[in-house]
Structure 1
Amino acid sequence: MPVMPGAEPYHHAGGPIGVLLCHGFTGSPQSMRPWGEYLAQAGMTVALPRLPGHGTTWQEMNRTRWEDWYAELDKTLADLRGRCAEVFIMGLSLGGCMALRLAEVNGDGIKGLVIVNPSVTNDVPLLRLAPLLGLAIPSVPGVIGDIKKEGVTELGYTRTPVKAAATLPRLWALTRSELGKITQPVLVFHSPQDHVVKPASLRILREKLTGGNLNVVELTDSYHVATLDNEAERIFVGSLEFIRTNASVPLQRD
């Protein structure tokens, strides 16, 4: 299946600190590419995979499930851990949820998390009917492109594949049920003006991550896809400072 130009995965071999970047549901690596390139220039080893079914067609994505997307991230994480002394995970939207899940499963194998407008609960009541709707309606209007900055677009699907979306509640529930396992530092960048993910997700994180390891930074001039929005640079710089603060090995520039 041909990949959309610009939706290709991105990898950079750098120093001993690895960063796994996780893009969002129906999006593509394009939404995270500037972030990955920024960290690569700072000397990180960076992996930004394209999740199965993404960056091609929504019809292909309808043949995938959350387990397929997570498996791709898990495989990439294993490769990073084999090549790097320490690994951080960073994610956008549903990519933030999968980053949290990876931290729950891998424990001390993850040094810290930086997540942007993470989604950990169902904000669309109609999604509860998705398993039935998928039998009659293959897709609904998409959710990509929630960006405040003029002239910037997100590369992804204008339609949301219903069968793929129907698998999300299981991932959300599983992730929420084990949030207490996360002891690593977690930095959340949150846009109050988010038209995709409602405030409930951040509220859940604040309720569950009570060990003093959660820090929330508000983005007042960005919408959901903040990694491409007005405050993208703030996210990039903040994530690098987060690594500098929490890594136990020195950063290495190319």
Structure 2
Amino acid sequence: MDNVHPKAEPFLLTGNSGTCILLIHGFTSSPSELRELGERLNQQGFTVRAPLLPGHGSSPVDLNETTWRDWYGKVKGEVEGLQSLCSSLFLVGLSMGGLLALKAAAELEGIRGVVTINAPIFFKGSLVPFARILRFIRPYMPKKLDDNYRIMREQDRFAYDEIPVKAFLSVRELSRQVVRDLKNVKVPVLIFQSKNDESIEERSALVIRGQVGSQEENLIWLEKSSHVATMGPELSFITREICRFIHKHTN
């Protein structure tokens, strides 16, 4: 897209360890919410790639013209590209990005492990029961812009202030697809879930842990973080645990 906002640009940080990490951002957002995490991981020698998913980084209208298949197609292409550069590849997904990471791990070869951060199986909010009707009446629903949301914007996170309802329905379809695919995820999985998540129900993490086909799945509860935990007070802890996970499965 030619109209991508400067704060929403994808990024690539080259490392020297032979290990690549694909960071996948959440619904209505952009790689900006993963920038600091990416820089911290890159400081440990990892090559870090954070693409911009189709329909994101420009306007809600663009997002409403895409579906989960477009977003997954982008992730699939990024996986294939990174596999030619690195000896080991890990996927780290925030929110919807976690769903896309799990789907990729269920279908694609050559992924060493998956990290999900607040991946949505069950959603919170008044939009959930009425979305199918609202898409015809009010195709864009304003978000609740609380203090935490404003602080993240001041920290250069680019995200839409509205939820494109048609695209939101596609996220819900993606979550159902992922639940059906979880048994096919055989690689190690590290799951983070915020106890104070304002966007999804915490039991989402329990479903992922309980249904993945991996012989190793570890769930870590975040006590102080909101939904966008990568821009919260536990980022250092999240980074350390991701590094520990990656080192364990590359050595």
TM-score, normalised to structure 1's length?
A: 0.89
Q: 1:113 aligns to what?
A: 114
- Residues 182-229 of structure 1: per-residue CA shift (max 9 Å, x gap): 121111121101000112311211321375411111211111111000
Q: Which runs of 5+ in 1 are unaligned?
A: 249-254
Q: Give the drift of 1:44.
A: 1.2
- 1:1-254 equivalences under 5 Å are 1-15=2-16, 16-107=18-109, 109-123=110-124, 126-127=127-128, 129-142=130-143, 147=148, 151-153=151-153, 154-209=157-212, 211-248=214-251
Q: Distance in 1 between matches of 2:44 and 2:210?
A: 34
Change (3 A) 1:218 1:200: closer
Q: Distance in 2 between matches of 1:145 and 1:245?
A: 38
Q: Distance in 1 between matches of 2:20 and 2:147?
A: 29
* AA at the equivalent of 2:44: A
Q: Distance in 2 between matches of 1:48 and 1:144?
A: 25
My pick for the range that moved more, 81-90 or 4-13, is 4-13
Percent identity between the two aligned chains? 33
Q: Which runs of 5+ in 2 are unaligned?
A: none
Change (3 A) 1:143 1:104: farther
Residues 94, 120 of structure 1: 8 Å contact kept = no
Larger helix percent: 2
SS at match of 2:236: helix
Q: Give the drift of 1:152.
A: 3.5
The root-mean-square deviation of aligned C-alpha atoms, in Å, is: 2.1
Q: Distance in 1 between matches of 2:218 and 2:172?
A: 26
Q: Give the drift of 1:146.
A: 8.3
Change (3 A) 1:74 1:87: same
SS at match of 1:99: helix
Q: Give the drift of 1:135.
A: 2.1
Residues 184, 213 of structure 2: 8 Å contact kept = no
Q: Distance in 2 between matches of 1:115 and 1:245?
A: 17
Residues 22, 90 of structure 1: 8 Å contact kept = yes
Q: Distance in 1 between matches of 2:145 and 2:52?
A: 16
Number of equivalenced pairs:
246
